[in-house]
Each structure stands twice: as C-alpha cells, then as structure tokens.
Structure 1
Amino acid sequence: MRTDPARLAAYDTLRAVAEREAYANLVLPRLLAERRLDARDAALATELAYGALRGRGTYDAILSACVDRPLGQLDPEVLDVLRLGAHQLLATRIPAHAAVDSSVELAREVAHEGAARMVNAVLRKVARLDLRGWVDRVAPDPDRDPEGYLAVYRSHPVWVVSALWDSLAAHRGKDAAYDEIDRLLEADNERPGVTLAARPGLADQADLVKQGAEPGRYASTAAYLPEGDPARLEAVARGRAGVQDEGSQLVALALMAAPLGDRPAGADGVRDVGGAGDGDLDGDGGDDSPEADSSSTDSSGDDRRWLDLCAGPGGKAALLAAIGAQRDARLVAAEIAPHRARLVKRALQPIRGVHKVVTADGTQPPWRPATFDRVLLDAPCTGLGALRRRPESRWRREPADVSRLAELQKKLLASALDSARPGGLVAYVTCSPHLAETRLVVSDVLARRDDVEQLDARPYLPGVPELGDGPDVQLWPHLHDTDAMYLALLRRV
C-alpha cells in the first residue's frame, strides 16, 4: 500500500514550512499543480496541511500525553506525520482506522519501519478520546490559567493569546475582551474565503458578481468567491481584479477618502519626484515607460502625488494606482526587496496612468521631503492579524520580533510623515493588532512631533460596524470577517 498523493502533499507542505520557513499558501498550490491532484485530493491535502498547522499547539499537547519522551526528541518527520494523523482523528470525519492506517503508511514511506510502528501505537492512544475530551485532560484549568487554557484549546502560543487579549481590551473594553477572546481565537482557526478586489476603471464589483462572485460586505471594490480558483475569472486573469482581503481594501480606500489639509502659501513642493541629486527612482523593478520617467507633473496641483512606501507584493499599490488613474494622480510604489518590487510591477502592468515602481529603503528614501499628498505605509509586522491565512506564523514568531519590528515601524512612520507635504495625509497600516505595533508606534512617533494631527478614521470606513471609540480603527476576524488590519490616519499641519 502506497501513501496516497493528498496526504503526501500535505506532509511535504509541513516539511517545507519547517525546513525552509516557507509559507503553506505558497508551497501547497505549487505542489498540487505539479502533481496534478484532482479536485478531491487537492481539497483533502489542503484540509490536512492547514488543519495540522493551525492545530499544532493543541495536537502537540495531546501527543505529549501519548508519547513516552519529549516531542523535541522525535524525528521532525515523524512528528509531522503524527500531527497529520492527530488532525484526521480529532478534527475530520475520516474514520479512525483509515486515519491510523494511512499515517502508518506515510511514516513507513518517509521514515522507516520503526517509525511506522511508533505512529501506529501513538495514534491508537489518540483515538481513545475526542478533541473535547483531550482538551479537558491536557489543558490548564481555565479558571486558574485562562490564557494557558485558551492556548491549548485554540492552538495559539500563550504570548499571542495575551497580546490579542490586551488589544481587544484596549479597543473594545475589558468586559468585551473577556467575552470575545475565545471567538477571536476561534476565528483565527477558520479557513478564510477568497476575497477579490476590483480595480476601479478596469473592473467593478458588478463585473465580478457577473463572473460568479458575491458582493463584499463593506468595500465597494470587494467581492467574495465562494469556491474555485480565482484565476478562472477573466477579470483576475487579466489583472483587472486581484485577490485581496477586504480589510486591506478598506484601509487603502480610507486613505483615498480622507480630506487633505490646505497647502501653506508658497509651499509648492518640488517639480520632480526624484529631484536633482536625489537619486534615480527607477531602480530594480522600475517602470521605464516615458510616462513614468516624466517630470512634468504639476507640482502646484493638490492631490496629484501618492506614495506606497512598502508596496510589496502589490495589492494595495494596484488599488491605489487604479484610483489614481481616474484622478490624474501619480503613484510611486517603493519596495526595498527587489523580488517584491518585481511583484509590484507585475501587479501594476494592466493599469493605465502614471505610476512608477522603485527599489528603495523607506527609512532612507531617495525623494525629497514634503513631496507627496497621500502616503500609504503598510509597515512590515508580525502578521498576527492574518493567522487565518498564514497559520504557521503563530509558531514562527517570537515576542522579540515585536520589539525589533516596532523600532523599524517607528522609523518608517517618521519617514512617511516627512515624505508628506504640509496638509498631506499618511495612513499607518499593519496586519497586526498587537498594541506595540499599532497604537504604541503611533503615539511614540507623535510624541516627538508638533507638525502632525491624528484624524478620526472611522468616518472613512462607512458602513463598517464595531469600530470602537477611535480615532484609530482596528478590524477583527471575529467581528468583520477580515484580517485584523489596523489603521491610523495622520495629517501634516
């Protein structure tokens, strides 16, 4: 009996995540295509790979009770087989005998006969209780250690549970946080749907609905694809729409909707985005078209120059560029990593208008200060707001990452504010609800400046409920069915 292709693809995905720090959402689709799995096997492989990654914390706690040595002493390959087997036994409708037998065959193929015998013995122990029974047995007492209990029950590291709880309390209040933390962690473990973004001027929501999607809840550009490959939609295949979380769309649209301040008398900015001696803005991945190289943009006109400071991989940049083409605005999309800059350029190719992709360090920009009317800073972050889509991030990140990234976020926000002209707007965005990456970054930077005011961002997300007291906005998977995007709108004065 040979291992079936679905389970082998799921196993290979887990190994790529562990060995190469790959992301499952990039590895698995490639494996499915290369191995030509049919729809049924592809669905099973996806369920097993993502399920084992999301449930790793719970399954490891259970496996620890069934193995006679620390899990760290097991061969990593065998441990991944056990995690896949535990998921089949505890979270799917696969019969227990099939889950055990298929795991034994997988262990025999990827390891050795001794590993297969151990997998058989351990998974037979796992099969004695259901998931609820195991959690009651291995998790801490929820009254004495609620965070520890939730960490096991909802499969999150304890420090992540604590951080999310603190953020809920700050934005929603302590009582609401106590009531909602379990729902938030549960939402992190749900499989997200595919959300599409129609790029204005190229497609609209109605076009996507005609091609089989459903209208989005809040963003005028959003649509949901109930099933299937998004590339099968003509609008997506031709670059007139892209895959983009609705929260990501909302924060970009909010920046476009918020009003600029008055430009002070005599403050005409500069006549070239690069400026003499400020460096070539083409860089790797730059747009070499005559339009993009033109320096004839009217510097006296307001709301004509936009910047995406950390643009990779290009979803928000494409949305901004499409809106900019309708408003006669010019977008500069900056990205420090050359390979990500190339992704941005690819995303912008179908969009008409004046836009340029540059490879540049946002903390040391090649343009002159006070150049742009609108600046989007989607800062590098821990990604704790997108655990639905990247479940492995919860096990890959550590508390030290937060402080390291927060320092970078502060530098980037200071640079974004310097890049905005007087009266210009900056949207500070992260896909993390961690307070140290969101409110504390904004408050720290604002405390050092007297030339910035914070706007109430809530009016610029019309129709979105449960936005808290402001002035910033925190979206939540359990409330809005989006990634946990954070938004602060800041204006130079």
Structure 2
Amino acid sequence: MTAEAGGRRPSRTTADPARLAAYDVLRAVRTEDAYANLVLPQVLAKHRLSGRDAAFATELASGTLRRQGTYDAVVDACLDRGRVQGRIRDVLRLGTHQLLSMRVGTHAAVSATVDLARTRTGPRSAGLVNAVLRKVAAHDLATWVARVAPDATADPVGHAAVAHSHPRWVVEELALALGPRRDELERLLVADNASPSVVLVARPGRAEVAELPGEPTVLSPYGVVLPGGDPGSVPAVAEGRAGVQDEGSQLVALALAAAPVDGEDGRWLDLCAGPGGKAALLAALAAQAGSSLVAAERQPHRAALVARALAGADGVTGILTADGTTPAWRPGTFDRVLVDAPCSGLGALRRRPESRWRRQPGDVEDLVPLQRSLLASALDSVRRGGVVLYATCSPVVAETVGVLEAVLAERPDARLEPVPLDLPDAEGPLPGTVQLWPHRHATDAMFLGLVRRV
C-alpha cells in the first residue's frame, strides 16, 4: 500500500477490515469527490466483507458522513491547540461516530480507532487520536451538542445546523421550503440523518410485486421494502425485471403515466433520463398502455447507464445521447414528457450523505437557469393537449416554485394542473403540486408539478 500524497508511509500495524473499509470510503469521498453509495460496494468487495461486517462498515461510513458537522465541532472542542485535517480528521470522525452513535464500547472504539490511525496515518498520530477520543468518550451525544452548538433560543438555525449536522444554508433552505409547517424542521433534519430503507420496484409487465421479498410500500403499488441483504441477489433485480428505486421516484413515473391527455397517447419522452431508473419504470408503464418511450440523456456515460437499465424492456423506441435544451426532434412530437431536472439533490440527503457538504448556495443559482430551459424545451416538445411533469429531488423553493412560476409566466400556452396522485399530507407549495418529505412519507423529498400545453 502506498502512502497518501504528501504523507508518511503507514505503519504495518493492522486494523480490522470493517474499519479499514469505512476509512477508505471517507478518503475516497474527500480526495476523489466519490459518492459513498457508489464506492462502498467496491470497497466492501476489496476487503471481502459480507454479512455483519459489511453492515458495520456501511453504517460506520454512512453514519459518519451524515453526522460529520456535529462530530467536527466535538473534535475541535477536544483538541488542545490547532486543527487537524485530512487523514487524521477522517480517523477521528470514525472514532467519534462509534463512541457517540453506535453500540460500540468505549475501550473497543478507542483501541480499534487507534489501530486504524497507525495503519492509515502512521504511528505518530496514534497518541493524538487516543487523547482526543478519550475526551470525546467523557460525554454522550446530547451533552456534546449542548456544549458545542449555538444557543437554540438566540440562534435556532445555528443550533439546528450543529445538532443535526447540516450546513447552515441548507437548514435555511429547508425551513423556507416547509413554509407554514416550519415547526416540522427538526423532524425533517432527523429524518435526513436516518439510514433509508432499500426499496425495490417491480416493473409492471416484467415482474410481479409478489415475487419480491419484503413488505409492500404504502404509496406505490409496485414497490416493496427489502428487509435486508443484497438487492442484486433477488432474481428479478439480477434479470433487470425489477430494480432498486426510492418510492418517491416511483411516484414520479406513476404521476406522468396517470395524467389525462387529450387525443392520441402513443409517444412518451424522458428528457433527462440518466441514470435510467425512472425511464425503466416509464417504459414498462408505456408498454402496458400501448405507447412507447424515448429516453434522452446529455452525458454519454449516463446515457450508457440508461441503455443498461432499459435492456430487454418493451416499449422503448430510442435511447438518445442528446441535450434536452436543444432537442433533436421536431416540436410537438410527444404526448407526455418527463423533466426529472438536474438539481441540488437536497431532498435525497438520506441516500447521499456527502451531498450536504459538497453543495454550496451558488450551486442552486447555477442550476435554476438550466431547470427553466429544460422545462421550456419540454413544453416545446409536447403537443397541444399533452402534458409535462416537472420533478426534482429537491424541495428548495428556487428549484420548484421559482422554476414553475417563471416558465408559466412566459408561456401563455401552458397551464398548471393537479398531479393525479392521491397522497396523504403531500400538498405542494403551488395548488395541485406535490411535495413529498422524508419525515412524512419515508421517501426522498421529491417535488412534482404537472403542466399541460393548451
């Protein structure tokens, strides 16, 4: 093993494989901008982990990333002077998570993390890691939050940011999105830090819900909650007849398929199809309706993922590598169009724990013009009487209400209509729109708005 650039060659002291795997995930996220959910299976395979060891490594890595903001405040309070960064910071975060949020005994957590430090950062760091973690172990999480977070009365947003490990600006955006139900903010932040269930979808006409293991989902008729294990070991998933898909994402495809259209209904379009999960469900629904789907994706590598997701599916007439803002088809070609717009992803923080630390307020400002352009292009692509479903996995007002209102103000040929889903407690910020929430619906915070071209 080679040392990280600029660091010393690690000691030959061996840490246990599960903690090594969790560290490797954190390092990949920090140095390579990797996504934890994508790199984790590779790391588990590299360390030959399965069963309880794989579950421990998964919770250790994902939980540490979710609570990173809180743990950094605790670690900083335990340092005698200065700050530590890089590899040692990763090790201290992992040790702090074990001490404050996992059922790991103090001695085991400290000694195993010291071994990890010797292995990954060299023997000279072991004393510092040992000293800091023994200070961390002196209090539980609630006591530490009371010590390091701003006063909840004087600065409620700052307190929530540290207590629930979200950047301050994200807390502000989520509070704004909740609107008159801002009192639910703490429940939402808590839900963002909970490990999400793995949800499977049976693609209609290709798989039956009954052949998937688990309990049926509450909101989607095609979903089940997997009780545990590797989704890839489920035969229908391995064969591409079913897939892993959050219930909120399933509802996006169902909403577009259920919307009434005037006249013919044979041509459907997924304008931003990568990586292909919604397109696969849409294709199955289109085939059942006697219609066909075209899936478009601008980025070639994501278009390849779409092709893989749609392999063997009926009802697909084209998979295009194309920019949705400059359509490669004639205006008015389609009867139904889905715009699952690129967004900040702040509604999917349960599944992408590192996203909250990567995103910046300027990212939203940069995305909004693209979102408006895609929605306008979708309205050009749909015929009169057809429908466009605009969806984001973000509840941020600028990406939802702001985009819809701006485009509708410029399009006298477009009209907002109710999303055809009967969902409990899911009223969106505009009449007829839908806003799902992790703390209310156990889904990602998907936003759905239906627009008809008139």
TM bucket normalised to smaller: over 0.9
Give the corresponding residue for 1:288: none
Matches within 5 A, 1:359-398: 359-398=321-360
Q: Determine whether 1:334 maps to 2:296.
A: yes
Any stretches of 5+ residues in structure 2 without a counterpart? Answer: 1-12
User: Residue 261 of structure 2 corresponds to which residue in structure 1?
Assistant: 260
Name 1:271's counterpart in structure 2: none
2: CA distance, partners of 1:65 / 1:411: 47
1:309 correspondence with 2:314: no
1:381 counterpart SS class: coil
Q: What are the equivalent positions in structure 2 for 1:157-306 lying under 5 Å apart? A: 157-169=167-179, 173=180, 176-178=181-183, 180-208=184-212, 212-261=213-262, 302-306=264-268
Percent identity, aligned pairs only? 60
The SS at the match of 1:310 is coil
Aligned partners of 1:218 and 1:464 also within 8 Å: no
2:20 to 8, 25, 39: 8
Aligned-pair CA distance for 1:349: 0.9
Task: Say whether 1:353 aligns with 2:315.
Answer: yes
| 1:463 Cα offset (Å) | 4.4
Residue in structure 2 matched with residue 284 of structure 1 by the alignment: none
Unaligned runs of 5+ in 1: 263-301
For residue 69 of structure 2, what is the aligned residue in structure 1? Answer: 57
The answer to whether the Cα contact below 8 Å between 1:238 and 1:350 also exists between their aligned partners in 2 is no
Instruction: Please tell me whether the aligned partners of residues 426 and 435 of structure 2 are also in contact (alpha carbons under 8 angstroms).
Output: no
Matches of 1:340 and 1:141, distance apart in 2: 45
* TM-fit CA distance, 1:70: 4.5
Q: State the distance in 2 between where 1:429 and 1:92 align.
A: 36
The correspondence for 1:139, drawn from 145, 149, 158, is: 149
**Aligned letter for 1:148?**
G
Displacement of 1:229 in angstroms is: 0.8
- 1:79 is aligned, of 76, 83, 89, to 89
Q: Which amino acid aligns with 2:243?
A: G
Q: Secondary structure at the match of 2:351?
A: coil
The residue type equivalent to 2:129 in the other structure is V
The C-alpha deviation readout for 1:4-46, integer Å capped at 9, x for no partner, is 0000000000000011110110111111123211312111101
Q: How does 1:87-102 map to 2 (within 5 A)?
A: 87-102=97-112
Match of 2:436 among 465, 475, 488: 475
2:421 aligned residue: 461
Q: Cα distance 1:204–1:75, how it changes in 2: closer, same or farther (>3 A)?
A: same
* C-alpha displacement of 1:227: 0.7
Q: What is the alpha-carbon root mean square deviation over aligned residues?
A: 1.2
Q: Deviations over 1:454-477 (max 9, x none)?
A: 0011xx222444435732111000
Aligned partners of 2:422 and 2:398: how far apart in 1? 27
Deviations 1:251-272 (A, max 9, x none): 110111111135xxxxxxxxxx
User: How far apart, in 2, do the equivalents of 1:150 and 1:439 lie?
Assistant: 25
The 8 Å contact of residues 63 and 122 in structure 1, kept in 2 or not, is answered as yes
**Post-superposition offset of 1:434:** 0.4
The separation in 2 between residues aligned to 1:492 and 1:261, in whole angstroms, is: 10
1:104 paired residue number = 114
Of residues 409, 417, 438, the one that matches 2:371 is 409
Number of positions where the alignment pairs a residue of Structure 1 with one of Structure 2: 441
1:379–1:80 Cα change, 3 Å: same
Amino acid at match of 2:248: G
1:442 aligns with 2:410: no
The amino acid across from 1:191 in the alignment is: S
Structure 1 SS opposite 2:78: coil
In structure 2, give the amino acid aligned to 1:127.
A
SS at match of 1:357: strand
Structure 1 segments (4+ residues) deviating >4 Å: none
Q: CA separation of 1:70/1:473 partners in 2, compared to 1, >3 Å: closer, same or farther?
A: farther
Give the corresponding residue for 2:4. Answer: none
How far does residue 69 in structure 1 lie from its aligned partner after superposition?
Answer: 3.9
Query: Hey, what's the Cα distance between the residues in 1 that align with 2:140 and 2:410?
Result: 55
Report how far residue 54 of structure 1 moved: 0.3
Per the alignment, residue 290 of structure 1 pairs with none
Q: CA deviation at 1:59?
A: 0.3
Deviations, residues 116-139 of structure 1 (Å, cap 9, x unaligned): 111111111111111010100110
